[in-house]
Structure 1
Amino acid sequence: MFDNIRHDISVAMERDPAARSRFEAFFAYPGIHALIFYRWAHWCWNSGFHTAGRILSHIGRVFTGIEIHPGAKIGKGVFIDHGMGVVIGETAEVGDNCTLYQGVTLGGTSLEKGKRHPTLEEGVIVGAGAKVLGPIVLGKGSRVGSNAVVVKPVPENTSVVGIPAKVVQPPESKKKDDFCAYGMPTDDIPDPIARSLEGMFDMVCGLRSRIEELEKEVAELETENSLLARAKKEAEDKKIPAGE
């Protein structure tokens, strides 16, 4: 237990530049307190004391504002920054070295028993207010931007944003060991919706230009046909003998 607490403090010092001392991290970081309550509650849950586990989990929620079901599985090196409003469901799995910010929900979308909450593999970062829903898997090193709603699996080392979440940074463009606060890359990445709208706008402009070209060609053909018809009529009039 004490080894886990020391490791949690080290993780907070590493990932939060606002942390000035280990003493401060231990006494003033609700994410660390929530994990302490979780480990007690999780031990009770696994030992068959389900009610005791839920009571400890509730006490932790009252003191920290972070709700972690005692049945959830949380790895080592997990950091919950700020933490208020974080909800982690019963069958959720959070891998080693993941980072969750305030308002994150790892929720279920079914009332059926069994696996109904998401699985976060190692090193996943979930930004503030994001919702990850259903028994989906977020691959190793993936990132979820703030306020995104994720309802489909996310490949490894991929960044997603939006509602519903869409890929904005493919795996090949991610730098290794590049921590990304709030799950948002620091690079100038395109908005997938704006990118789609820009593509549609370009297509409309191209179609408009083509229509104008076709209208011009049709007008020229009509002019040529009109001249040909006039010339033909004049030629026919010249063939008619005078006086008839």
Structure 2
Amino acid sequence: MFRQVKQDIQAISERDPAAKSIVEIIFCYPGLHALIAHRFAHYLFKKKMVLLPRLISQTSRFFTGIEIHPGAKIGQGLFIDHGMGVVIGETAEIGNNVTIYQGVTLGGTGKEKGKRHPTIGNNVFIGSGAKILGSVKIGDNVKIGAGSVVTKPVPGNTTVVGIPGKVVVQHGVPMKELQLRTKNICNKEIRVEEMPDPDQETLLYLVRRVEMLEKKLAEKES
């Protein structure tokens, strides 16, 4: 466990330009504090203990804002930057040298039993607010854009963005050139980028939802 913690500290030192010293990392990085608590809780969890590891996990959540279930399997060199709002489920598995930003969820869909959380490969980058849900496998060297929602397996050496997550770069090569298309919004043709944009997709969903509600309201009034 101590060797893993040492590698976690080294990962922060190498990947965060804001880290000025080892002492600063040890005392001022909640992601590291949450990881240390998890390493110990996971050790107890593997010893078939239940309550104590959960208490450690909940206490760590209170102080760091990061919730990691004791059953989650985490490799070496994980860097949780900022960390507030990060949730890692019981059957999640994380490889080596993974970077996770604030607001990330490695969760389930609420439908499965057994293995119900994601498996993350090595050298994966997960942007802030991204949600990876279900028992899906994320390959090595994957980048997941901020705000993306991923519910399907992702092959290695790719970049995924959008809601739902779509592969836009594979092995460093764009899947296709950025194109423009038109969408009908409120009876107006608006040109939007083909590349998925989480904010754009959310706004489009809200517009469609409002239109549907207005239609139902009009039908009731008539």
TM-score scaled by length of structure 1: 0.71
Q: Which amino acid in the other structure matches residue 104 of structure 1?
A: V
Mapped partners of 2:128, 2:175: distance in 1:
20
User: Does 2:39 correspond to 1:55?
Assistant: no
Q: Hey, what does 1:22 align to over in structure 2?
A: 22
The answer to whether the 8 A contact 2:71-2:90 is kept is yes
Report what 2:181 is aligned to. 197
Q: State whether residues 57 and 70 of structure 2, in contact with CA within 8 Å, keep that contact through their aligned partners in structure 1.
A: yes
| CA deviation profile, 1:94-132 (whole Å, cap 9, x unmatched) | 001111000000010134320110000111110000000
Q: Give the helix-richer structure, 1 or 2.
A: 1
Deviation at 1:169, TM superposition (A): 0.9
**CA–CA distance in 1 between the matches of 2:52 and 2:111?**
23
Indicate the larger mover: 103-112 or 23-32. 103-112
Q: Is the 8 A contact 2:123 2:142 kept in 1?
A: yes
Answering whether residue 30 of structure 2 is matched by residue 46 of structure 1, we say no
1:149 match: 149
> C-alpha distance in 1, partners of 2:176/2:51?
46
Instruction: State the secondary structure of the residue aligned to 2:160.
Output: strand
Counterpart Cα distance in 2 of 1:38 and 1:50: 13
2:16 partner amino acid = D
Separation in 2, partners of 1:68, 1:25:
20
Distance in 2 of aligned mates of 1:167 and 1:196: 17
Give the distance between the partners of 1:196 and 1:50, measured in 2 at CA.
53
Work out the CA distance in 2 between the residues paired with 1:197 and 1:170.
23
Which has the larger Rg? 1
Q: Map 1:118-157 to 2 at 5 A.
A: 118-157=118-157
2:112 match? 112
Q: Which secondary structure does the structure 2 equivalent of 1:197 belong to?
A: strand
Distance 2:171 2:180 in 1: 20
Task: Say what the alpha-carbon RMSD is for the aligned residues.
Answer: 2.3
For residues 151 and 196 of structure 1, the distance between their equivalents in structure 2, rounded to whole angstroms, comes to 26
Shift of 1:10: 1.0
What is the match of residue 100 of structure 1? Answer: 100
What's the CA shift for 1:7?
1.6
CA distance in 2, matches of 1:14, 1:46: 30
Identity across aligned pairs (percent)?
Answer: 55
**Secondary structure, aligned partner of 1:106:** strand
Matched letter for residue 167 of structure 1: V
After the TM superposition, which parts of structure 1 deviate over 6 Å for at least 4 consecutive aligned residues?
189-192
Long gaps (5+) in structure 1: 174-188, 202-244
Question: Which residue of the partner structure matches residue 80 of structure 2?
Answer: 80
Higher mean displacement: 105-114 or 126-135:
105-114
Q: In the aligned structure 2, how far is the partner of 1:76 from the partner of 1:36? A: 12
* 3-state SS, counterpart of residue 54 of structure 2: helix
2: CA distance between counterparts of 1:191 and 1:171? 13
Alpha carbons 2:161, 2:167 under 8 Å: kept? yes
CA distance in structure 2 between the partners assigned to 1:43 and 1:154 by the alignment: 30
Partner Cα separation in structure 1 for residue 88 and residue 3 of structure 2: 23
Q: Equivalent residue for 2:32?
A: 32
Deviation by residue 1:165-211 (Cα, 9 ceiling, x = unmatched)? 111111253xxxxxxxxxxxxxxx7999x73627xx9xxxxxxxxxx
Structure 1 residue 8, shift from structure 2 partner: 1.4
Give the superposition deviation at 1:22: 0.5
Q: Which has the higher strand share?
A: 2
Does the CA-based 8 Å contact 2:167-2:175 persist in structure 1? Answer: no
TM-score, structure 2 as length reference: 0.78
Specify the code of the residue in structure 2 equivalent to 1:63. Answer: F
